[in-house]
Structures are given as C-alpha cells and as structure tokens.
A = this chain, B = another copy of it.
Amino acid sequence: MELDKVGIEKHTSKQFDVELEDVRERVLTMGGLVEQQIANGVKALVDGDGGLGEEVSRSDYKINAMEVAIDEECTKILARRQPQAGDLRLVLAIAKTITDLERIGDEAEKIGRMAMQLAGQERPTSAFRQIEALGRHVRQMVRDALDAFARMDTETALAVAQHDSEVDREYEGVMRQCITFMMEDPRTIRHMLDVMWAVKALERIGDHSTNIGEYVVYFVGGRDVRHVGMEELEREVKSGQRNAAKNA
C-alpha cells in the first residue's frame, strides 16, 4: 500500500514523498530482520542448537546499526523538511518504533545467549513445547505490529494489544511449570533459571510489540494512547475510525 493511501497527503515536494517512503521501507526491513532473530533464537533454544544461538547473539549488531541509521534519517527529515501535523507524527512514530524494534532485537539476542548456555543440557519436553508455542505467538504479535505499521491500520494495532494479555497468561503458565521442575529437582535450578530468562525475554517482546501498535494509533488518531488501558484503547480506535469515515 502506498503512503498516500494511508492518510498522508501527497506533498508538493515529490522528493519528500520519496524520503518518507524510503524510511518507512527501512523500518519494515529492520522489522523483518528482528522477526528472523526471534524465530532463530526460539529455534536455537527449543532444539538446543548452540551454533544457531551464537549466530543470533552475533547478528544483533545489524539491528543496532539499522536503528542508528534510520534515526539519523528521521533527524535529517525533521531538520530539512520541518514536517507538520500528520507528517510530523509519522516521523516521530517511526523514531519510537525503531527504539522498540531495537529492544526486541536485544531480547532476541538474550534468547540466543541462553540457547548457547542450554545447548547439550537435558530439557523437559513439555516446558519446551510450551515455549515453542509462546514463541510463535510472540512472533505473530511482532508481525501484526509491523503489519499495522505498514498499513497504518489501527484495527490490527488494537489486535496486538489484545493478544498481549493472552501471551501474558501463557507466559505465567510456562513460568509456573519451570518453578515446578526446580522444586522437584533442585539440581536443575541453574538451567531452569536460564530457561526462565529466555521466557521472560519473549514476554518483553510482546510488550514492545504492543508499544509499536500504540504508536500506530497515535499516528492515525493524533492521541497518545500509552498507559490508557485496554477499554480506552478500544474506544480510541473506534472513534478514530468514525472520524476517518466522516472525512472520507
């Protein structure tokens, strides 16, 4: 979908459109890499693949570099174009989105490191099946958040936040199971703690995805919806849609 179809007017300067489209595409490329890092991190953890874990841990610098480059580009656009209203909100939403993407990358890196430490260790199958499922759900959240960002679609952005409470429940379940293993066999404590840090990292990735969804709602509706709670978030998305329909 083109930028002009998602509520941003065409600019008198064609070059400005090109710049905005370029930075937006770079965010999506960065998002794709982040998704891949999560997928590999979880796979390394579940399969006990230390080599893959190391690869994840070593690849994080690419995400960091992308964040710095996109951030610089945003600063240049602000300085050169002095965007107003929706354009300004878009640039600011991008700057915030990449901060959360970068931190998702950090969490994926941690999962990779834990996978390295846990490679070759015995692993309780049931817990790891649950972790695999949690990893799938969290990745879906990241994908939905990026999809909401790509299409500036508040409905999808809202779905991310709604998904987060399910993920939190699943997370609690895995954690409880880890505690049970520890109590049954205290010799597993050290390893189970590494598992728990990785699971915690997955839960945080869910939180960061929710943040990205909130920036989309902010961009579209102009209202900052962080910290407002789910009900108000739903109201905001609906009222934003009514306004959009009126203006159509």
Contacts and interface: CB of A to CB of B under 8 A. Distances in A.
Interface stretch (A10-18, A143-151, A161-169, A182-190): A182-190
Interface string A63-107: 011011001100100110010110011001001100100000000
A227 interface: yes
Contacts of A96: 99
Instruction: State the majority secondary structure of interface residues on A.
Output: helix
Interface residues of A, number: 30
Interface string A207-245: 000000000000000001011000000000000000000
Interface in A185-214: 186, 189-190, 193, 196
A88 B79 contact: yes
Contact of A72 (B95, B189, B224): B224
Interface in A151-175: none
A61 B227 contact: yes
A182 to B, nearest CB: 5
Contacts of A89: 75
Given A182-B189, A189-B182, A84 B75 contact: no
Nearest to A64: B227
Contacts of A67: 226
Interface in A24-75: 61, 64-65, 67-68, 71-72, 75
A92 B78 CA distance: 10
Interface of A: 61, 64-65, 67-68, 71-72, 75, 78-79, 82, 84-85, 88-89, 92, 95-96, 99, 179, 182-183, 186, 189-190, 193, 196, 224, 226-227
